[in-house]
Chain A
Amino acid sequence: MGISAMVGTPIKRREDPRLITGQATYVDDMKLLGMYHMAILRSPYGHARIVSINTDAAKALPGVIKIYTAEDLRGKVGNVVVAVPLGRIAEGMGIRGALAEGKVRFYGDPVAAVIADDAYTARDALDLIDIEYEPLPAAIDIEKAMQPGAALLYEEFGTNVAMSSHPPTDEMDKIFEQTVADGGIVVKQRIVNQRVAPVPMETRGVIAEYRKSDKSLTVWSSTQIPHLLRNFLAATLSLPQHQVRVITPEVGGGFGCKLNYYPEEMVAAFAAMQTGHPVKWIEDRSENLAVTVHGRDQLDYIEVAARKDGRVTGLKVHGISDMGAYCQLFTNVIMIAFGFPVSCGSYDIPVHLSFDVVFTNKAPTDAYRGAGRPEATYVSERAMDLVAFNLGLDPAEVRRINFVQPDQFPYKSSAGAVYDTGNYEPALDKALQIIDYKNLRAEQARKRAEGKLMGIGISSYIEICGFGPKGTAPVGLYESARVRVEHSGTVMVYTGASPHGQGEETTFAQIVAEEFSIPVENVMIMHGDTDSTPEGRGTYGSRTTAVGGAALFNAVQKLKEKMKLIASHILEASPSDVELEDGKFSVAGSPQKSVSFNDVALTANFSNTLAPGIEPGLETTVFFEPEACVFPFGTYVCSVEIDKETGETKVTRFVAVDDCGRQLNPMIVQGQIHGGIAQGIGQAMWEGVEYSEDGQLLTSTFMDYAMPIAEEFPQFELDHTVTLTTVNPLGVKGVGEAGTIGSTPAIAAAVADALGVAHVDMPFRAEKMWKIIHQQKG
């Protein structure tokens, strides 16, 4: 990299002018001529047999165009796509069609779709559809769902368990026995990582338009994965791939839940094909909370063995993942593919992993910011705290003694992952220093003496991101960039990544401006249209900069080489002597001999006198598939105070030291961390999707689902260390999920510390805290 002019600079976002003036276009802001509206009738039961469906009255309502049930889709619309069908899922367990057939398996399961000429009429018609249900017992509690005699979602399989692995524990048992024999300890704990809802502020939405004359389907969707969606639509609607186009307009947040293929996208597209009219569907918030994938919902039984000095000798984890009612894109592998690889966290410890992946009568779970990694990190961090608690050691020192050391990288963990680069202790030290750990502990001692409940929590997380390396996923998880330098010297970039709030139009422009040494204003970043952007995998898993940014960097280098060649002819010099600096190509050693970037662009695009062998134009498409994943890390330290009278917990300090490699735009990096921390604290403190025993959703509006608000947070205090990766040419790791991964365990540790107990399950709502405090008193 050259002298950093743009990269590393906190320039203001180029996305913002349209967003702060109300001029941005989200899906719901679009109107097409002759557009119909779709509304979905959903199951009011958690589990029930569909006895009959009568749509006559609804069909008779003026303005209603069509009503679809599963019967109308049979043989015409395929199933929801599962990326990695393993275990019984490969035999068809948990595979869903677009509309429920025969049975409904969770509250909100779609049963019928109404197409009407306006949105209010479509909703009115839902009330006129008469469905007779035979309610069935529901499997809600995951452990009960695994027991014989549990209500079965898929009777033909005789179980709710879709996938299992229980490898022998002999070797780990020996380690545990030896540890105890040597005077160490073994601690067991059951840990619940509760179900939460991703809740982007823009719900999902889709508009599908079908042109019968040339059989082409265009779908505007609020999705993180335009290319995958196009491929899924083509496959499930039996359309040629090149006749399907997906456009993502402005997307109002995703957090993983828009990294999926949803029934409503399929039905809207089908309806557009059938009616010849554009069809729009906009999810309302209650639907969003009921049917858009949830996150987490993992139960872990852990056993950790440690020497008296806190050195962990072994960790056993039995993970039970609650899939909900159906297998969506990654539902079945969130825990085992994204979580388990980082089970050892930032520690050099042996781990033994076993699992069950189970269906229940709840909404499907899938990716939610962090996807598996927050759950795994929660386990490894709770393990460190359990060791510290039981041995009476400082949790900071227990972490320190177990860290993977700088000279061990690249480090292969016992969970099988190869960590690229890392240096964990400086991040821990910096966090402790910022929060003034020693004085904070002294303050805690004083407050305890006054009878107050104050706790301090630490989390030294790692994450795995930048998916994904060759050969590790069922399909290549590359990213792409098409770059065109126009005759005026301005640059068009078409990326396969698909941002939805991350600010890539800014950071990607910074990469180009830096490498071409041109003003950032001269670069335009285009994304989210499968007709114009090269095939890409979308934006998720903190991968956009590490994978998509790397593709862009390489594409720019390729064009720079060609421009140097053209410049060398103009300058009558050897191409290897030509340098690009300050927007000018010049000959090394004689800077007075130069030609501007713009003139070379003009020559390449317009001249008819290019040297023999040089193709006109300046455009290239580059794909980048990393050789390995990247492993950002950091340490978070926080303090909490719990009011004994009310049980209310307040986060009083929150220090975050992150290391995501090179930071292209520190302002955007910090914004990502802020948001991630808020979501992680949200889970720890308040959030939780809840169902009754018979499968009724109890958290279906923001009146019941606790969305964090401004006054509940302290100022987050951020700092960073920089450990570059060698996996990509930018040295960047990824930061989108770090905050969520690291913050939840820090809060959990602080709350347990305040209460003086080994462990409390989240969320730490006032009622639960009050009960614990009063039980302690009693």
Chain B
Amino acid sequence: MTMKRAITVTVNGQQYSSEVEPRLLLVHYLRDVLDLTGTHVGCNTSQCGACVVHLNGEAVKSCTILAVQADGCEVTTIEGLAPEGSLHPIQEGFWEKHGLQCGFCTPGMIMASYQLLKNNPNPTEAEIRKGLEGNICRCTGYQNIVKAVQYAAEHMQTSATEPVGAGE
């Protein structure tokens, strides 16, 4: 057994202190230690993007980051994207435009879309498709995901919401 390391991570605005194995992946820390199971593991090799969360405000694939690397950082997961009981415009977009079917890729897709719209609030269709190149969906053929992001872009112009505990 490897020596455990103490880490302190702020997730969705709440601070957690834990002892973890240095090899523990951030995604497993979120899912198995903090019980935040909205972030999924889809490929283990950082291709599919089902595990995308925000680390200090930037989208990262949490299956290829160690929990110890998040020590002292702020993390936002799908559970913290919108205040309890409300939906972020991106979540609304996915619901309104049928941007999901089985839903497994959806949390990562939404978190990646957030980054995309942060970088480019008015993306063209081609820019959306290009911007989601790190996220794989097997159900939708991406067409309605594009529409969901377009919906979100329109609605975020009018109601800018910051995720809970979004750190910069």
Contact = CB atoms under 8 A, between A and B. Distances in A.
B103 A250 contact: yes
16 contacts: A16-B100, A20-B78, A22-B36, A22-B107, A23-B79, A24-B38, A28-B40, A201-B50, A201-B138, A203-B42, A253-B101, A253-B138, A285-B45, A501-B101, A675-B138, A711-B133
Nearest to A200: B138
B39 to A, nearest CB: 7
The 5 lowest CB-CB distance pairs between A and B, nearest first, are A22-B38, A252-B104, A19-B103, A501-B102, A678-B141
Interface string A734-763: 000001000000000000000000000000
Interface stretch (A319-327, A470-478, A700-708): A700-708
A287 to B, nearest CB: 10
A585 B132 CA distance: 52
B133 A710 contact: yes
Given A200-B138, A255-B138, A668 B98 contact: yes
Contacts of B40: 26, 28, 201-202, 252
A21 B78 contact: yes
B139 interface: yes
B138 A703 contact: no
Nearest to B63: A285
Interface stretch (B67-75, B87-95, B153-161): B87-95
A671 interface: yes
Nearest to B108: A201
B131 to A, nearest CB: 8
A307 interface: no
B64 interface: no
A32 B17 CA distance: 24
Interface in A168-214: 199-203
Interface of B: 1, 21, 23-24, 31-32, 35-45, 47-48, 50, 77-79, 82, 87, 91, 94-96, 98, 100-107, 110, 125-126, 128-130, 132-133, 135-146
A674 B38 contact: no
B80 to A, nearest CB: 9
Contacts of B82: 21
A674 B144 contact: yes
A500 B78 CA distance: 21
Interface residues of A, number: 59
Contacts of A252: 40, 102-104
Given A701-B43, A702-B48, A710-B132, A715 B107 contact: no
A200 B137 CA distance: 9
Given A15-B103, A20-B110, A253-B101, 6 more contacts: A16-B103, A17-B95, A24-B38, A701-B43, A709-B132, A713-B143
B141 A702 contact: no
Contacts of A15: 103
A503 B96 CA distance: 14
A25 B40 CA distance: 11
B47 A16 contact: no
A549 B137 CA distance: 27
A701 B47 CA distance: 9
A679 B136 CA distance: 12
Interface of A: 12-13, 15-26, 28-29, 31, 62, 120, 199-203, 250-253, 255, 284-286, 500-503, 667-668, 670-672, 674-679, 701-703, 707-711, 713, 715-716, 739
B37 A25 contact: yes
A285 B103 contact: no
Contacts of B32: 31
B138 A711 contact: no
Given A26-B40, A674-B143, A674-B144, A201 B136 contact: yes
B45 A22 contact: no
A201 B137 contact: yes
Given A17-B95, A22-B77, A701-B47, A710 B102 contact: no
Given A201-B50, A285-B44, A703-B45, A21 B102 contact: no
Contacts of B144: 671, 674
B45 A253 contact: no
Q: Which of B32, B77, B95, B130 has the most CB of A within 10 A?
A: B95
Nearest to A251: B102
B112 to A, nearest CB: 11
A715 B48 CA distance: 21
Contacts of A672: 101
Contacts of B125: 715
Nearest to A252: B104
A120 B133 CA distance: 30
A611 to B, nearest CB: 46
Given A251-B102, A285-B44, A702-B43, A707 B136 contact: yes
Nearest to A702: B47
Contacts of B141: 674-679, 713, 716, 739
A702 B100 contact: no
B21 A20 contact: no
